[in-house]
Amino acid sequence: MTLRVLYGTVANADILYLARQKLLDPLLAVITPTGQTILVTSDRDHASLKQVSAGPRLMQTSDFPKDACSVSQIILAFYERFEAKELLIPYTFPVGIFVKARQLVPNLPIRIVPDQKLVTERACKSSREVSLIQDACTACATAFNIIRTILGRARIEPDPTFTKLPSLTLQMTHTNPENQGQHLVDPATNLVVTSEYLYEAVRAALLEQNYQLDSAIISCGNQACLPTSYGTGKIRPHELVVCDVYPRSLTTGYYGDMTRTFIKGEPSSQQRRLVETVYGAQNLALSLIKPGMNLHELNCRIHQYFTEAGYETTYSEEYKCWTGFVHGLGHGLGLDIDEEPTIDSIDRKDVCRVGHTFTVEPGLYYPGVGGCRVEDVVLVTEDGCEKVGSYVCDWMIE
């Protein structure tokens, strides 16, 4: 008989999931052994929460005696009322409340678990949640349209700041020294197109749609071979540009997350084959996803696909980095940008379940050629999976 307990503000995704709206004050959430959720809010938040919430039992601090209305005392009251055998709390539970509860009941059995292992119901999304994620993915498509428009109209011009460097590094925005002496200029502003320029254009447009984009990955050339590099500096012609955007709705808190790879100019044969192989890997993954599919096995199948295509994952002594398929295939998406389930090289025995909503984002990264990643969000259905939002376009831009 376990009582799950959370305390915090709606900045905590678990709290927001249970409250289903933004509130001013911290609240106490208790999930009983039978699965019922009880929310104890401040008196001023109580009225607004009661108007929109459906399902949880709603209480306020004034419902408890004045001499027993501290958070730790309320938790102990629920512990006794439901005859629980232990309390289950997340790693991020406030230590002060934890200590106070132990002072009141020294032998109180408390088990601490990782945050995403507490409200496990979040892993499988309701139809409402899927719709909200789809809306956020539509914002991703808006971002890609903006990027394509700017790259499409940009002029390829000589770079007057060009200084030939003796060797390539991972910080460079080109993979081919011949591309080093050129850059892109947006005729609409006469400004040089950089990672920062594209990000600001996208961020401003999404904010008008009530989506927040605190950061984005827009990286070019060798920079794109570091999958988590945000990218900085000039976008070069004839170089692969990885664009990974993950906006969050300021209204609902749900994320979208999609990645596309573009090139302004003519790709080399190596770049073309790299991109085609990544798209092939994603198509394979989509065909394999169904209820019961082991997530670790899914990740392994994509590794195998890349290896058989000639793209091995190895460590580069020259660039001091891993090359090939160097990250997991995907991650859950919802009120957190990265949540359960996780699809990577760690064998967790987890399998696909109906309602799972996660990204599928194979990628290949080779300094001297470039990086490519393609990412879409999928929903696991009864007989397979379907994309939650989509963006179809030609990755080559003239």
Q: How far is CA 57 from the centre of its chain?
A: 31
Task: Tell me the CATH number of domain 124-397, given options 1.10.510.10, 3.40.50.300, 3.30.70.260, 3.90.230.10.
Answer: 3.90.230.10
Number of residues that make up the chain: 398
pLDDT in the model for residue 43: 87
Amino acid making up residue 291:
P
Domain map (residue ranges) of the chain? 2-122, 124-397
Instruction: Please report, for residues 95, 239, 278, 352, the alpha-carbon distance to residue 288 in angstroms, rounded to integers and kept in the order given.
Output: 44, 32, 16, 10
- Residue 195, exposed/middle/buried by CB under 10 A (0-12, 13-18, 19+)? buried
What DSSP element (H or E) covers 77?
helix 71-81
- Dihedral sign for Cα atoms in the order 30, 35, 38, 39: positive
The tokens for 349 are 């025995």
Give the orientation angle of helix 269-288 with respect to helix 295-308, to 10 degrees: 150
SS3 385: strand
The answer, yes or no, to whether residue 34 has pLDDT greater than 70, is yes
Distance CA 355, CA 368 (A): 40
Q: What is the pLDDT of residues 360-389, one digit of tens each?
A: 999 999 999 999 999 999 999 999 999 999
CA dihedral for 320, 323, 329, 330, sign (positive or negative): positive
Lowest average pLDDT, out of 7-21, 53-67, 278-292, goes to 53-67
pLDDT score recorded for residue 393 = 82
Task: Read off the pLDDT of each residue in 220-237 and give the average, rounded to a whole number.
Answer: 95
User: Cα(10)–Cα(122) distance, rounded to whole angstroms?
Assistant: 15
Tell me the pLDDT of the chain averaged across its residues: 93
pLDDT tops 70 at residue 167: no
Q: Is the pLDDT of residue 178 over 80?
A: no
> Are residues 165 and 172 in contact, defined by beta-carbon separation less than 8 angstroms?
yes
Pairing of strands 357-360, 57-60: unpaired
Q: Give residue 52's pLDDT.
A: 64
Residue 165 has pLDDT above 70, yes or no: no
Q: Cα–Cα distance between 186 and 392 in angstroms, integer?
A: 24
Neighbour count for residue 172 (Cβ, 10 Å): 21
Half-sphere exposure (Cβ direction) of 129: Cα atoms closer than 13 Å: 23
Residue 299 C-beta-side C-alpha neighbours within 13 Å = 22
Q: Give me the phi and psi of 77, to 5 degrees please.
A: -65, -45
Amino acid present at 125: K
DSSP 33: T
Ordered DSSP codes for 296-328: HHHHHHHHHHHHHTT---EEETTTTEEEBS-S-
Percent of the chain clearing pLDDT 90 (strictly above): 82
According to the model, what pLDDT value does residue 163 have?
Answer: 72
Task: Name the DSSP letter for residue 291.
Answer: T
Q: Specify whether the CB–CB gap between 162 and 181 falls below 8 A.
A: yes
Q: Where are the alpha helices (DSSP H) in 209-361?
A: 269-288, 295-308
pLDDT digits (tens, 9 = 90+) for 50-90: 766 667 888 988 888 888 789 999 999 999 999 999 999 99
Q: Are strands 376-381 and 370-373 parallel, antiparallel or unpaired?
A: unpaired
Q: What percent of the chain has pLDDT over 70?
A: 97
pLDDT number for residue 53: 62
pLDDT score at 66: 84
The helix (H) or strand (E) run that includes residue 366 is: strand 363-366
Contacts of 96 (CB under 8 A, 6+ apart): none
**What is the structure's pLDDT at 262?**
98
pLDDT single digits (tens) 299-354: 999 999 999 999 999 999 988 999 999 999 999 999 999 999 999 878 778 999 99
Matching CATH number, 2-122, of 2.40.10.480, 3.30.430.20, 3.40.190.10, 3.40.350.10: 3.40.350.10
Which comes out higher in pLDDT, residue 45 or 250? 250
pLDDT for residue 172:
76
According to the model, what pLDDT value does residue 266 have? 93
What is the structure's pLDDT at 169? 73
Strand pairing partners for 30? 5, 38
Cα distances (Å, whole numbers) of residue 168 to 17, 65, 172, 325: 47, 69, 7, 21
Residue 294 contacts residue 350 (beta carbons within 8 Å)? yes
